[in-house]
Amino acid sequence: MTFLRSVFMKLTPRRPRAVLAALAAAATAAALIPSQSASADPAAPVANQVAAVAAENPTVNETFDGTTLPAGWNAVEGAWKVQSGRLVGTSSTSSQLSRITFGTPLADYRIESHLRFESALDGGRWVALGLDLAPSGAVPWSIATMRNGSTATNGLEFAQRTPSNTWNVTDTAAAPIQVGVGKEVAVAVEVRGTRATWYVDGRESLRTSMVNRTAAGVQALFVNGATVSFDDLKVTPLAKESFIRKPGAPLRVFAHRGASSATPENTAASDEVARRARAEWIENDVQPTKDGVPVILHDNTVDRTTDGTGAVRSLTAAQVATLDAGSWFAPAFTGQRVPTLAQQLDGLKTRGGNLLLEVKGAHTRDSVARIVTEIRDRGMSSRVFVQSFEPQHLRWTHELAPELPLGLLRSTLDPDPVAIAKDLELSAYNPSDAALSTRPAAIAELHAAGVAVNVWTVDDAARWNALEKAGVDGIITNRPAELAGWNAAFLQRAKPQVTVLNPAAGAKLDRAQALRIAVSSNEPATITLDGKPIENGAAVDPTTLAAGTHEIKAQAGDASTVSSFEIVATRTGLAHLILTSGASPAAVSTMTTLLGQEKYGVLATYASTPAAAGLSAVRRELIVAEARALR
């Protein structure tokens, strides 16, 4: 459809773009509707069909073909106008900030646009997609920013403006391409609850689990210290999430019992460290106390992880609340408590994060119902994933709360994992690493059925690498910080990257300077200079280049970059042309004397006559042109 749209735009005047967009959307929708022919798959996951429909029903779809701001858009600060088919935002001169709000509250959605810096005070100025803020534009905000200098280490950010009007930057990364003034780029952010993913030029570039969400938050655009224009802006609700990893995406990080290698497991401390480590999900275990209160504890007894003794199901919630759950791990954690499920959910809702909740041990339908009630009462259904070794627990969960995604834990593989996944309506099948190694082909079989595969409990980078290559979707690990770092490195090596190192973009070179083309890339690169192939590291004689701008293009995989430099006339460059010209000694002497006297017009005239003996036609033309340029 991208190809069709580009053809429409080339063949048709700009004014009817909204009509063309509708035609393109209709064609795409028709292509996505499941066929009724014999080749159609009636067993295709319903979620996939819903996703296709949702993708064609954006709540905002603006091509800015009018002359005024779209209805319902609120320009809170700065100057905003529709001009030449684009929305243009210019920062306020007083605050260097502008913002405009629009859209509706959505839990899961994709916001995307084509944007271009028209001007910027410096490389640190930024543009942002507002992910959650009040329609009035008041704090708090959650935003995804891109700097004019997008390849800086903080070229991309996820950030919050707190209720006290201070900044909290939660995640940073360099963008895969340099944006800069005048270059249009496609950007998008997918938001699922408190999680979000930045896409630049179609490539995943940064993730966060720290988006602050509010019940009435809408979308927005921000501009800081710049003028930025926008086109083709869409906000599209996302269908029920598939937990199958997208091609090129990193492994999902599930923090096993929180960051349990660094903190006492299943406590507020382990949750906080896992959250700061950027774990996408925090895995905890839940069991009932004697009086039926769900608490976060792994073992059947409290003996190993607290200063108490006895089976957790023989103790009341009040008794469990008095136990020290931290000093066994290290003195610094003395006073940590066994959280109730309610406290765990409240902490996640307030501080951020998502819960992979294992229904541990034996449960009745009533105890599972109590867990579901705790989740629903706090509005956390979209941020909880339930797993268990017991199929019956999952059946009850699905009956009580069909909106909750389910995962089946396994120490050994079932004879037919796909069959049980379909029977239980699983979102994920979660085997041990040892179990999966007996039949890794099960990964592809489960994926074909729309079921993700998350493996437990893996703390070794060599195994992470092997499991990523095998195609698993997520890792349940005691070392979430290390896996998050491994993921960051994976993204860097997984994405083709290419940069022109030399000459620097915009460099002005004269004829006397050494010129060597240098490109950095993590895959084999194809390089051209003014459209002609050239080897990386090749030396180029500036005397063979025409005066003016020259363009270097480099491509590695699907990554490409363009950089330009300029050959300019200088006295030094002209001297080099004369001294290396091969002209007769008398001609060289005359021309250097005229150059020293800055008689450029006379020099140009002399060089164009037969008196300048020994000059080749090409060198004669260069010297004449250079002298005239300096005149």
Distance CA 216, CA 213 (A): 9
Q: Are strands 97-102 and 355-359 parallel, antiparallel or unpaired?
A: unpaired
Query: Is 419 part of any domain?
Result: yes
Residue range 75-85: average pLDDT? 95
Lowest mean pLDDT among 16-25, 162-171, 238-247, 395-404: 16-25
**pLDDT greater than 60 at residue 269:** yes
Distance CA 97, CA 121 (A): 12
Give the count of domains, the chain: 5
Q: Is the peptide bond prior to 503 cis by the omega test (within 30 degrees of 0)?
A: yes
Task: Indicate if 262 and 387 belong to the same structural domain.
Answer: yes
Task: Indicate if 81 and 156 belong to the same structural domain.
Answer: yes
Query: Is 39 part of any domain?
Result: no
In this predicted structure, what is the pLDDT of residue 33? 26
Residue range 373-396: average pLDDT? 96
Query: Is 43 part of any domain?
Result: no
In this predicted structure, what is the pLDDT of residue 278? 86
Task: Indicate if 553 and 618 belong to the same structural domain.
Answer: no
For the chain, the farthest-separated pair of C-alpha atoms sits apart, in whole angstroms, at 111
Task: Indicate if 134 and 196 belong to the same structural domain.
Answer: yes
Residue range 531-535: average pLDDT? 94
* CATH code (residue 556): 2.60.40
Query: Is 476 part of any domain?
Result: yes
Task: Indicate if 535 and 593 belong to the same structural domain.
Answer: no
Lowest mean pLDDT among 25-29, 150-154, 179-183, 191-195: 25-29
Task: Indicate if 271 and 379 belong to the same structural domain.
Answer: yes
Task: Indicate if 592 and 559 belong to the same structural domain.
Answer: no
* CATH code (residue 471): 3.20.20.190
Q: Does the annotation count 398 as an active-site position?
A: no
Query: Is 80 part of any domain?
Result: yes
pLDDT band at 349 (very low <50, low <70, confident <90, very high): confident
pLDDT band at 497 (very low <50, low <70, confident <90, very high): confident
199-222 pLDDT, tens digit each: 999 888 998 988 988 889 999 999
Lowest mean pLDDT among 54-58, 105-109, 290-294: 54-58
Q: Does the annotation count 256 as an active-site position?
A: yes
**pLDDT greater than 80 at residue 5:** no
Task: Indicate if 148 and 23 belong to the same structural domain.
Answer: no
**pLDDT greater than 80 at residue 353:** yes
In this predicted structure, what is the pLDDT of residue 494? 62
601-618 pLDDT, tens digit each: 999 999 999 999 999 999
Quickly list DSSP for 165-230. Answer: S-EEEEEEE--SS---BT-EEEEEEEEETTEEEEEETTEEEEEES-----TT-EEEEEEESEEEEE
Q: Counting Cβ atoms within 10 Å, is residue 277 exposed (0-12), middle (13-18) or buried (19+)?
A: buried
**pLDDT greater than 90 at residue 240:** no
Of the three residues 458, 484, 510, the one that is the final residue of a domain is 484
**pLDDT greater than 70 at residue 73:** yes
In this predicted structure, what is the pLDDT of residue 495? 65
**CA dihedral sign of residues 204, 209, 215, 216:** negative
* Average pLDDT score, the chain: 89
Under a CB-based contact definition with an 8 Å cutoff, are residues 631 and 601 in contact? yes
Residue 497: what residue type?
Q
Strands (E), 274-392: 281-288, 294-296, 355-359, 384-388
pLDDT band at 395 (very low <50, low <70, confident <90, very high): very high
**pLDDT greater than 80 at residue 466:** yes
Range of the domain at 603: 571-630
Residue range 182-187: average pLDDT? 94
Of the three residues 434, 462, 484, the one that is the final residue of a domain is 484
- CB 238: neighbour CB atoms within 10 A? 17
**pLDDT greater than 50 at residue 41:** no
Share of the chain above pLDDT 70, in %: 91
Residue 121: what residue type?
L
Q: Are strands 86-90 and 226-237 parallel, antiparallel or unpaired?
A: antiparallel
pLDDT band at 44 (very low <50, low <70, confident <90, very high): very low
Task: Indicate if 332 and 384 belong to the same structural domain.
Answer: yes
Task: Indicate if 132 and 218 belong to the same structural domain.
Answer: yes
In this predicted structure, what is the pLDDT of residue 56? 55
Beta-bridge mates of residue 181 = 117
Distance CA 285, CA 135 (A): 39
Distance CA 593, CA 386 (A): 87
Task: Indicate if 80 and 23 belong to the same structural domain.
Answer: no
pTM of the predicted protein model:
0.66
Residue range 135-139: average pLDDT? 93
Task: Indicate if 352 and 438 belong to the same structural domain.
Answer: yes
Catalytic residue among 298, 363, 447, 550: 298
